[in-house]
Every structure is written in structure tokens, then in C-alpha cells.
Amino acid sequence: MEQKKILITGVAGFLGSHLADRFIKEGYIVYGMDNLITGDMANIAHLMPLKDFIFYHHDVSKYVHIPGDLDYILHFASPASPIDYLKMPIQTMKVGSLGTLHLLGLAKAKKARMLIASTSEVYGDPLVNPQPEEYWGNVNPIGPRGVYDEAKRFMEALTMAYHTFHKVETRIVRIFNTYGPRMRVNDGRALPAFFSQAIENKDITVFGDGNQTRSFCYVDDLVEGIYMLLHSDYAYPVNIGNPEEITILQAAEEVLDMVKGTKSKIIHKGLPQDDPKVRRPNITKAKEILGWEPKFSRSEGFKITYEYFLKTLKK
């Protein structure tokens, strides 16, 4: 049987590299594409010698070409943490708009199925908790986070337009907070910050009173959900995330307990503008349509992630 071929954009990033691992394991030929503005070649170094992995150093905001047949496209290219998209607002908007346009054009030409990485950020600072896919969100389009939120909302609208008008096979995953090995130490998101601060005996920074909530999903669970969604028949957005909601303060305390011998203590700083006060997925659709729900407990996932950061920071 002929091998299936998949293009993964943002392949050198945290999620992209884990997805590449999964599809290589499943026997696919993987074309990986990344312009490396936030990605790291170290994440895919183990894949580079493989005959079934082909890497393209390319920015998808420019025209995208892949020779020959293509069965699937996973569009995961984009700065994804506030520290990145506040620093690179134009690139963030371009990869969500022009990048998506180029890849949908490629999907149309190749008759490939395309899955886009959307985000829980499309819900903004939600007035509904947990957030179902039918919720339209509470987003500030001109606030500092708007460059990411609106890029992803536009990305969804463009994808649905190609689906309805050009009959391109499309899938949309709305990803909630995900964590695990290969996150950047200086990523700027809560868990990498907490782990690196605790390991290095620096004070753990909690913004605001710490009562804002998040729901943390371990990366292997997310990858499984994405794999199942890609191979499903469902074209509308699906939330993939862990519905177990905890406060940011509780997450900081759990990290502190895990890092033995740390001299760190928790300190509080001002809350950034438009920071969501709640974040929790309603995963009813994922359960009913895909038969998916997270398997990893937070303690399991935190332990693996802690060991990764410990190893990374001690290098």
C-alpha cells in the first residue's frame, strides 16, 4: 500500500514536532515546514536522518509548494505564546491569514484534507464557562492579544469558506492550554515559567491574585485528539483540552511542591491587559464525535514535564 503523505507546518515547534513523531510512527511520509522564528531544530533533530521526513525551511506567509501528491496538511505554524506574538504582531497576523490562504490553496490543488490549529483564544475573556464550540467569544480586536485572537478567528472563517465554496476537506481543532516536553524554557506561558523559576530558585511569578483559571492538557493527549479529528468526518470546530480546571495559584503551588529543595516562593505581579479570567473546554463534542478524552492525570504530566525542564536547564 502506498504511504500517505502529510505536510506539517510549524514542525520545529512544541506541538508540530510531537505531531511529526506521531505521523512518522504511523508510517506516513512527513514533509515538515518551519521558518524557525520560534521553532527549534533541536526538536526535530532525531527526525532529520529519516528517509520519511523531509524538512523545508520556509515561511508559509510566502507561496508554498510541495512536489507530487499530498494527502493531508496540518497547519500549526504561528507564534503561540503572548511573549512571542506581542513581539511579532505582524508575522502572527500574516501566518494566520496569508499562511492559511496559501495552504488552503495547496490543499485545493492537491485534493488534500487540511486541519488548522485554532485556539481557545478565539473565546477571548469568556463570559461562559466552560466554553462550548457554539460560544462566539468575548474578544478585544484592537487589544494587545488581538493579533493572535483575530488571526485565529480569521483562519477559521477562511477555512470554512474554502470548505463551503471550494469543497476542500477541512478540520478545525480549538486547542486549550497544552504542556509537556519541548516547551521553550522562556516560552512566557505559566507552566514553563513556573518550572524554570522553581528549578533555578527564582521567585515564581503569578499575575494578579492567581484566581484566574486554566485547564492544562498533556501533549500526548492533545496529539491523540488531533489525530482522531483529522481522520474523522467532522468539519466544524472541536475543542481539544483537559476540562479539569484549576487556578493559576494552585498550578504554581503544585509545581513548587514537585521541585524538591527549591528556595523559590510565590510572588504576585499585575495582571496583563485582556488576560482571560477563566479557561475551560466543554469537550462533549470530542467525546461524542471522536470518542476522545484526556488520559494523563495532571500529576503524571507535571512529573514528565518537570524532568524535561530539569534536564534542559542543567545542560
Eight-class DSSP state of 138: B
* Three cell numbers, residue 69: 501528491
Q: How much is the pLDDT for 257?
A: 93
Residue ranges of the chain that CATH labels 3.40.50.720: 5-179+217-243+280-295
Q: How confident is the model at residue 1 (pLDDT cuts 50, 70, 90)?
A: confident
Q: How much is the pLDDT for 283?
A: 98
Q: Which CATH number fits domain 190-211+245-279+301-313: 3.40.50.920, 3.30.70.20, 3.40.50.1400, 3.90.25.10?
A: 3.90.25.10
Peptide bond into 130 cis (omega under 30): yes
Cα–Cα distance list, 34 to 9, 38, 65, 186 (Å): 6, 9, 13, 19
Q: For 85-115, what is each residue's pLDDT tens digit?
A: 999 999 999 999 999 999 999 999 999 999 9
DSSP assignment of 6-27: EEEETTTSHHHHHHHHHHHHTT
Q: What mean pLDDT do residues 137-150 have?
A: 94
Residue ranges of the chain that CATH labels 3.90.25.10: 190-211+245-279+301-313
Percent of the chain at pLDDT > 70 equals 100
Q: For 229-239, what is each residue's pLDDT tens digit?
A: 999 999 999 99
From the list 72, 85, 148, 162, the catalytic residue is 148
Distance CA 115, CA 105 (A): 13
Q: How confident is the model at residue 56 (pLDDT cuts 50, 70, 90)?
A: very high
Does the domain made of 5-179+217-243+280-295 have the CATH classification 3.40.109.10?
A: no
Classified as helix, coil or strand, 151 is helix
Calculate the average pLDDT of the chain.
Answer: 96
Distance CA 114, CA 161 (A): 13
pTM for the full model?
Answer: 0.96
Concerning whether 148 is annotated as a catalytic residue, the answer is: yes
On the question of pLDDT at 315 being above 80, the answer is no
